[in-house]
Amino acid sequence: MDRHNFTLSVPFTHRVCFTHDAFVVGNPMLSEILAEGGGRRALVYLEESVAAAWPTLVNEITTYIANTDVSLCAIHVLLGGEACKAGDHLVRHVWDHIEKEKIDRHSYIICIGGGAFLDAIGFGAATAHRGVRLVRFPTTTLSQDDSGVGVKNGINAFGKKNWIGSFAVPYAVINDFSFLHSQDPEINRLGLIEAIKVALVKDTEFFSWIEAHASELTSLQKGPLEECIKRSALWHARHISMGGDPFEMGSSRPLDFGHWAAHKLEQLSGFALSHAAAVAIGLWLDVCYSVKAGLLSETDAQRIEAVLETMAMPRFDNHLLQIDSHGRHAVLAGLEEFREHLGGRLTVLLLKAPGVSIDVHEMNAEWISECITEMQARMELAAH
């Protein structure tokens, strides 16, 4: 018997950039990134809703790339939203375009859109030729402050979020703040839940900053909004690059605070409940559970609730009340699905204080049900 173990270490550069008006000729950010890689061809994917909000964008992209050394093969304007990752139809479009346009591993896919669109296009790019360079342009608050900066791609399957997917470091992420200001205000505001989340699990001072600027963030004031997104994005990128487990080989998922319930709630709603809204509810459930488990003080929970309330984040949804065939709250199945997605031990992050977290490996189903009942009562009381 003869065995040899080899350790492979492959360095990646995770380029995370911030700008305004990226496709205005004279803004050097994208042209420098394309020149840095030396590629000569590019294929652009633009989410339909973004194209509708920015009717001159296709011409701006065409003109901008014409002023670089990269050849623009085509711009495809396609439907985005959660429906675009409900199956593999969009991924197959990407594969087909890459093959027809002779896009290779030294070429670029430039993707402009929200998180779901980036997920599906990114999975197509990550699997064609075992990986084509992807330049992401997140256009929503939620994608700029969280998912667009990440290293995951995926589509839904078997009624579950991101069941099919890959880890692939994008060639670059360019957060163009200009896109935010044409977004629906409610969607824009709800997307800040991921900034609240990362502050709660990573940075006491950042949470205090959000607390102090909650009213300004609620009204989407330009300066605080962009500052909040930048700080959140950099915390996500910092954890991925320096946290020791960028491709989630272990069981801990600190950036998924509140997500075990959120993903299940999306599924229970038939994905009618947005990801941002589901995360807000899931986050508040885990805050309430942290108190019940004796980890988090009532005072800190009240601070968190005040921020959520000021920023009009949902803290309850009737899908939490669904009962399964065993007479239990259906959302509880999200715990095993959360564990199954990574394997290993169940590992759920809870709070000890804003900015101070702890991993636990058991969740008391009775306490979760009690939290749901208490959350419902608080919402009914607030309504009156």
* Confidence label for 37 from pLDDT (cuts 50, 70 and 90): confident
The distance from CA 202 to its chain's CA centroid, rounded to whole angstroms, is 16
Q: What is the mean pLDDT of residues 230-242?
A: 92
Does pTM surpass 0.85?
yes
Question: Which run of H or of E encompasses 155?
Answer: strand 152-157
DSSP character string of 181-238:
GGS-HHHHHHTTHHHHHHHHHH-HHHHHHHHHTHHHHHTT-HHHHHHHHHHHHHHHHH
The distance from CA 9 to its chain's CA centroid, rounded to whole angstroms, is 26
- How confident is the model at residue 384, as a pLDDT? 72
- How confident is the model at residue 247, as a pLDDT? 74
Report the candidate in 191, 178, 212 with the shortest Cα–Cα distance to residue 149: 191
* Confidence label for 255 from pLDDT (cuts 50, 70 and 90): confident
What is the residue extent of each domain of the chain? Answer: 16-182, 187-220+231-383
pLDDT at 251 over 70: no
CB 253 within 8 A of CB 340: no
Residue 159 has what DSSP assignment?
A: T
- How confident is the model at residue 199, as a pLDDT? 97
Percent of the chain exceeding pLDDT 70 equals: 99
pLDDT at 88 over 70: yes
Give dist(CA 346, CA 359) in Å, integer.
10
The one-letter code for the residue type at 56 is T
Q: What is the mean pLDDT of residues 168-180?
A: 96
Indicate the average pLDDT of the chain: 94
Report the candidate in 124, 137, 130 with the shortest Cα–Cα distance to residue 34: 137
* Confidence label for 234 from pLDDT (cuts 50, 70 and 90): very high
β 71-78/41-47 pair status: parallel
* Confidence label for 250 from pLDDT (cuts 50, 70 and 90): low
- The residue whose two tokens read 């995926």 is 154
Nearest 5°: phi and psi at 308? -60, -40
β 152-157/160-167 pair status: antiparallel
pLDDT at 35 over 90: yes
At 90-116, the pLDDT tens digits run 999 999 999 999 999 999 999 999 999
CB 207 within 8 A of CB 199: yes
* Confidence label for 293 from pLDDT (cuts 50, 70 and 90): very high
Give dist(CA 317, CA 83) in Å, integer.
22
Q: What is the mean pLDDT of residues 238-263?
A: 81
Q: Tell me the CATH number of domain 187-220+231-383, given options 3.40.605.10, 1.20.1090.10, 3.20.20.150, 1.10.10.970.
A: 1.20.1090.10
pLDDT at 301 over 80: yes
pLDDT at 69 over 70: yes
Report the candidate in 177, 124, 171, 117 with the shortest Cα–Cα distance to residue 147: 117
DSSP character string of 315-371:
---GGGG-B-TTSSBGGGHHHHHHHHHH-SS--EEEEEETTEEEEES---HHHHHHH
pLDDT at 300 over 90: yes
Q: Top-level CATH class of 16-182? A: alpha beta
pLDDT at 340 over 90: no
Q: Would you call 132 helix, strand, or coil by DSSP?
A: coil
Sign of CA dihedral 241, 166, 284, 277: positive
Q: What is the mean pLDDT of residues 261-269?
A: 95
CB 315 within 8 A of CB 284: yes
187-220+231-383 has the same fold as 16-182:
no
The distance from CA 80 to its chain's CA centroid, rounded to whole angstroms, is 15
Report the candidate in 85, 74, 83 with the shortest Cα–Cα distance to residue 45: 74
* Confidence label for 342 from pLDDT (cuts 50, 70 and 90): confident
Nearest 5°: phi and psi at 138? -65, 140
- How confident is the model at residue 160, as a pLDDT? 84
- The residue whose two tokens read 């997307």 is 191
pLDDT at 252 over 70: no
pLDDT at 249 over 70: no
Q: How many CB atoms lie within 10 A of CB 353?
A: 16
Q: What is the mean pLDDT of residues 258-284?
A: 95
